[in-house]
Amino acid sequence: MFNSYLPFILYFFLVDANKDEQERVQKKTFVNWINSYLAKRNPPLRIEDLYSDLRDGTKLIALLEILSGERLPVEKGRNMKRPHFLSNANTALQFLASKRIKLVNINSTDLVDGKPAVVLGLIWTIILYFQVISYLKLFFMYH
């Protein structure tokens, strides 16, 4: 009886392991991409962990400022608490919405909670938008 289920058990184990590896690679790639932009800031910033380092919203806002060339309001300080984190996350999401960037199932609470699927989805959306914009600017500059 158990042997008849073994292929299914192995399949789900392998699929789950593949998802974990895919998330690990995505996370590492996104951290490197973000750090390449945060390094341009004065003083430079850096993130180590994608989920925890973006929770307070300050580095996310810094990234958006670098990418857009615009200044955004930010709550910062030593004694920041969850309401400040949520305010920063809301600032970032409202800024993206003002650029007509479609944010599906992404909210400030999930960002502050560091939910992997939400954080990965948001960063992927930011990459797509700002990379496409920069390529379009280059294209029209030379054509």
* 114-140 per-position pLDDT tens digit: 999 999 999 999 998 988 777 777 777
With contact defined as beta carbons under 8 Å apart, do 31 and 50 qualify? Answer: yes
Please give the pLDDT value at position 1: 44
Cα separation, 56 vs 84, in Å, equals 7
Low-confidence ranges of the chain (pLDDT < 50): 1-3, 5-6, 10
Please give the pLDDT value at position 2: 44
Secondary structure, 3-state, the chain:
CHHHHHHHHHHHHHHHHHHHHHHHHHHHHHHHHHHHHHCCCCCCCCCCCHHHHCCCCHHHHHHHHHHHCCCCCCCCCCCCCHHHHHHHHHHHHHHHHHCCCCCCCCCHHHHHCCCHHHHHHHHHHHHHHHHHHHHHHHHHHHC
Please give the pLDDT value at position 17: 65
Burial of 3 (0-12, 13-18, 19+ CB in 10 A): exposed
Cα separation, 13 vs 60, in Å, equals 34
Cα separation, 131 vs 34, in Å, equals 12
Please give the pLDDT value at position 131: 84
Please give the pLDDT value at position 97: 95
